[in-house]
């Protein structure tokens, strides 16, 4: 059977680094296995799901290069969930409950105060037809719980190894709300079964759900001849550098803000997230194919990985230093540097942590600069030795060789006044690369102390 995985975000907020790491791991798993990757929007929470979040998810995944082979939206599938719910009711696995949230809170509080786990007591199973009729005549509407088998639930998790739960230690989960709307615990299983998902790779916050969902898969198989229980992998969730969980509301760690405000390259984020929390070293990679080749879910460790924005920025810089012009031409044009070419990019990229910083160097090579010409006699001698154009990468060496021979200066005394006059700054990209971009006309004027 061919491998099929899914990434199933709820469009109730922006994707943050933690969510998108799970998307990436699923995608890498699929590509490595030659299988397929489904994007599924878990949008049955109609109050909180928003079309702009759904669009944001698609935009973020596309930006990272995580293309999907199949797409599904849970809100398109209510008919199917109703069908499955009807079958589960008929087989007695879904049973109606009438407790109000307040009554349930009281029950929980009383169990907890006795030092017992807050497991639902199945009082609703003891109701007779007359009790139910009376409750409904009082205006109560049922919600529906799934009757768990009180047997062990076991699976071999690709990250956690053997996992064991006792069915009796779990509460029968609510699968259908009072208003008839199905909940995630059910819809996810129906979709995974119908869409023949072979591996469910998600965060370890879902481990207890998995115990319950395995029983739902089995119940579907029994009533419908459908669901095969997938293989599960639960990854430890990313935390921030201090060990705190990343919440969806943490705007600064959203993929959108890393892209739009922090100037992070997609491959920097992918290179980091593919390796964080694994036994592989984090290294700059320029293509997803390289990450696919290196991917193995067995390398994912059970220890909590920490996401450090500084580490991401350092990796971004290392990636920029390697990226060829073609890969950034679009970004440079978007910055207004339409005329930037490979020579410019290669000159400035060693000095960049973010592509947008190229603007500063463009201003040095292509716009008037007020030079720091504080050694005029020396600069005049140097200017007189400027070779005729055309200039290339050897011009700087030829010229400064001549200046050195003529003035007897060397090292910092030779180079710093030239740099300050030519660029207006003490530091920057190698002048060998910048000089031909600045050109003779500008260079001559700047050496004469003129803004040019
Ligand atoms: N919509 C769920 C979430 O975002 C999906 C979890 C799952 O992968 O099953 O947590």
Domain 4-235 listed as CATH 3.40.50.720: no
- In the predicted model, is pLDDT for residue 225 greater than 70? no
pLDDT value of position 432: 97
Given ligand 1 and candidates 5, 9, 182, 231, which is best to mutate, with the most ligand atoms within 8 Å of its CB? Answer: 9
Going from N- to C-terminal start, the domains of the chain cover 4-235, 261-320, 325-361, 376-447
Q: Tell me the C-alpha distance between 319 and 352, whole Å.
A: 10
248 is in an annotated binding site: yes
DSSP state of 229: P
Q: Tell me the C-alpha distance between 164 and 144, whole Å.
A: 26
Mean pLDDT confidence for 135-163: 97
Mean pLDDT confidence for 58-77: 98
pLDDT value of position 240: 85
Q: Tell me the C-alpha distance between 445 and 433, whole Å.
A: 19
| Ligand 1 contact, 10 CB (< 6 A) | yes
| Ligand 1 contact, 423 CB (< 6 A) | no
Q: How many Å lie between the centroid of ligand 1 and the Cα of residue 267?
A: 25
Write down the pTM of the prediction: 0.94
Q: Tell me the C-alpha distance between 184 and 213, whole Å.
A: 10
pLDDT in tens, 45-64: 999 999 999 999 999 999 99
Q: How many Å lie between the centroid of ligand 1 and the Cα of residue 383?
A: 66
Angle between helices 78-90 and 207-224 (to 10 degrees): 80
Q: How many Å lie between the centroid of ligand 1 and the Cα of residue 83?
A: 22
pLDDT in tens, 85-134: 999 999 999 999 999 999 999 999 999 999 999 999 999 999 999 999 99
pLDDT value of position 247: 67
Q: Which fold has domain 376-447?
A: Arc Repressor Mutant, subunit A (1.10.10)
Q: How many Å lie between the centroid of ligand 1 and the Cα of residue 208?
A: 13
pLDDT in tens, 156-190: 999 999 999 999 999 999 999 999 999 999 999 99
pLDDT value of position 227: 62
pLDDT value of position 245: 82
| Ligand 1 contact, 18 CB (< 6 A) | no
pLDDT value of position 284: 98
pLDDT tier at 242 (50, 70, 90 boundaries)? Answer: confident
| Ligand 1 contact, 188 CB (< 6 A) | yes
Q: Which fold has domain 261-320?
A: 1.10.1160
pLDDT tier at 33 (50, 70, 90 boundaries)? Answer: very high
pLDDT in tens, 387-446: 999 999 999 999 999 999 999 999 999 999 999 999 999 999 999 999 999 999 999 999
Q: Which atom of ligand 1 is nearest to the CA of 200?
A: 8
Q: Tell me the C-alpha distance between 337 and 363, whole Å.
A: 10
pLDDT tier at 243 (50, 70, 90 boundaries)? Answer: confident
pLDDT tier at 349 (50, 70, 90 boundaries)? Answer: very high
Q: How far is CA 224 from CA 111, 175, 219, 410, in A?
A: 37, 18, 8, 85
Q: How is residue 144 written in tokens? A: 């529906």
| Ligand 1 contact, 337 CB (< 6 A) | no
Q: How many Å lie between the centroid of ligand 1 and the Cα of residue 8?
A: 5
Q: Which residues of 406-419 are buried (b: 16+ CB within 10 A; e: fewer)?
A: eeebeeeebbebbb
pLDDT value of position 244: 84
- In the predicted model, is pLDDT for residue 252 greater than 80? no
Q: Which atom of ligand 1 is nearest to the CA of 209?
A: 9
Q: Which atom of ligand 1 is nearest to the CA of 9?
A: 4
Q: How far is CA 126 from CA 98, 100, 122, 280, 328, in A?
A: 12, 17, 7, 55, 67
pLDDT value of position 224: 55
Peptide bond into 390 cis (omega under 30): yes
Q: What is the mean pLDDT of the chain?
A: 95
What is the percent of the chain with per-residue pLDDT over 70, rounded to a whole number? 97
Are 419 and 338 in contact, with CB atoms under 8 Å apart? no
pLDDT value of position 241: 81
């Amino acid at each position: 059977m061919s491998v099929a995985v899914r990434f199933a975000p709820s469009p109730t907020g922006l994707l943050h680094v933690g969510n998108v790491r799970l998307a990436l791991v699923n995608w890498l798993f699929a590509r490595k296995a030659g299988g397929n990757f489904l994007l599924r929007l878990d949008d049955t929470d109609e109050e909180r799901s928003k079309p702009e979040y759904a669009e944001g998810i698609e935009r973020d995944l596309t930006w990272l290069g995580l293309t999907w082979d199949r797409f599904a939206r849970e809100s398109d599938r209510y008919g199917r969930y109703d069908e499955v719910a009807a079958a589960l009711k008929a087989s007695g696995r879904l049973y109606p409950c009438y407790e109000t949230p307040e009554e349930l809170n009281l029950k929980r509080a009383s169990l907890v105060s006795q030092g017992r786990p807050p497991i639902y007591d199945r009082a609703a199973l003891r109701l007779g037809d007359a009790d139910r009729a009376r409750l409904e005549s009082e205006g109560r509407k049922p919600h529906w719980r799934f009757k768990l088998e009180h047997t062990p639930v076991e699976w071999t998790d690709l990250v956690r190894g053997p996992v064991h739960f006792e069915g009796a230690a779990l509460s029968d989960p609510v699968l259908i709300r009072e208003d008839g709307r199905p909940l995630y615990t059910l819809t996810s299983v129906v979709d995974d079964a119908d869409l023949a998902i072979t591996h469910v790779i998600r965060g370890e916050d879902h481990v207890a759900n998995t115990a319950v969902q395995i029983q739902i898969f089995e119940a579907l198989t029994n009533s419908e001849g459908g669901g095969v229980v997938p293989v599960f992998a639960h990854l430890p969730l990313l935390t921030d550098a201090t060990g705190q969980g990343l919440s969806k509301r943490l705007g600064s760690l959203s993929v959108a803000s890393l892209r739009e405000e922090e100037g992070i390259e997609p491959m920097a984020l992918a290179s980091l997230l593919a390796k964080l929390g694994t036994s592989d070293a984090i290294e700059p990679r320029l293509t997803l194919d390289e990450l696919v080749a290196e991917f193995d879910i067995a390398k994912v460790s059970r220890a909590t990985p920490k996401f450090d924005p500084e580490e991401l920025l350092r990796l971004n810089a290392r990636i920029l230093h390697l990226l060829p012009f073609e890969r950034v031409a679009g970004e440079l044009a978007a910055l207004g540097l339409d005329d930037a070419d490979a020579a410019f990019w290669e000159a400035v990229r060693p000095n960049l942590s973010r592509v947008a910083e190229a603007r500063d160097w463009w201003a040095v090579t292509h716009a008037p600069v007020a030079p720091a010409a504080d050694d005029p006699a020396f600069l005049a001698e140097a200017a007189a030795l400027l070779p005729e154009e055309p200039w290339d990468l050897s011009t700087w060496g030829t010229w400064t060789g001549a200046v050195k021979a003529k003035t007897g200066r060397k090292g910092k005394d030779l180079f710093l006044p030239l740099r300050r006059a030519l660029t207006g700054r003490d530091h920057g990209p190698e002048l060998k690369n910048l000089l031909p971009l600045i050109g003779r006309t500008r260079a001559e004027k700047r050496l004469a102390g003129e803004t040019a």
